[in-house]
Amino acid sequence: MEGIGQVRKLEMLITVLVFIMAACFFGEMSYVKPPAADVLKGMFVPKLSGQGATGDAIALLGALVMPHNLFLHSALVLSRKVPNSVRGINDACRFFLIESGLALLVAFLINVAVISVSGTVCSAANLSYDNKHQCSDITLNSASFLLQNVLGKSSKIVYAIALLASGQSSTITGTYAGQYIMQ
């Protein structure tokens, strides 16, 4: 991608796609109301229990801290106009640090929402037999039921859009990072 305007458009597209996914899960999270004390405890005192929990934790860490995004942030830094003074460079470094930190914070909060929603929905006392079965083996293909409390029958469509947005965001960032590395 050549030109600063193109990079900004790409950043805005990725931001919109990420916020579509976030809106779906934060909306559901506000409906199912997971116990705040348990969510906070889980953030600071993690506990792995259940079949496949270790693998899920490793996958989550890998999804949150993706090495190609380090290259992508380097490319985005190069697309910015930075003053040639020491103060200008220091200010730019500070802003880039804040920008990267905010991106990781947003990703972390989205992951907290996804985990909180799935944990709250799947541990509900009034869970139907079908949902109990789906909770025993949640996959990308079957996870749309997690959003049905807020979205009803349209949960599958909205989840598909959110999943498409998430996939496109990952594809765009991976491709752009690869392009940066190859150049």
Give yes or no for residue 139 having a pLDDT over 60.
Answer: yes
User: Residue 91: how many CB atoms within 10 A of its CB?
Assistant: 13
Check pLDDT > 70 for residue 84.
yes
| pTM across the whole model | 0.75
Q: Is the pLDDT of residue 48 over 70?
A: yes
Mean pLDDT for the stretch of residues 66-83: 71
pLDDT at residue 15, as a whole number: 79
The pLDDT, as a whole number, for residue 37 is 92
pLDDT at 7: 63
Rounded Cα–Cα distance for residues 112 and 100 (Å) = 18
Specify the number of domains making up the chain: 1
Q: 78-82, 94-98, 123-127: which range is least confident on average?
A: 78-82
Of 85 and 8, which is predicted with more confidence? 85
How confident is the model at residue 2, as a pLDDT? Answer: 54
Asked if residue 18 has pLDDT above 80, the reply is no
Distance CA 77, CA 129 (A): 51
Most confident region among 49-53, 75-79, 95-99, 176-180 by mean pLDDT: 95-99
* Residue 77 belongs to domain spanning: 4-182
Does residue 116 surpass a pLDDT of 60?
A: yes
In whole angstroms, give the CA distance from residue 174 to residue 180. Answer: 10
In this predicted structure, the answer to whether residue 3 has a pLDDT above a threshold of 70 is no
pLDDT reported for residue 4: 54
- Provide mean pLDDT across the span 120-144: 78
- Mean pLDDT computed over 146-168: 79
Query: Which of these, 117, 93, 134, lies nearest to 33 by C-alpha position?
Result: 117
> What's the rounded mean pLDDT across residues 94-117?
85
Say how many CA atoms lie within 13 Å of 44 toward its Cβ. Answer: 5
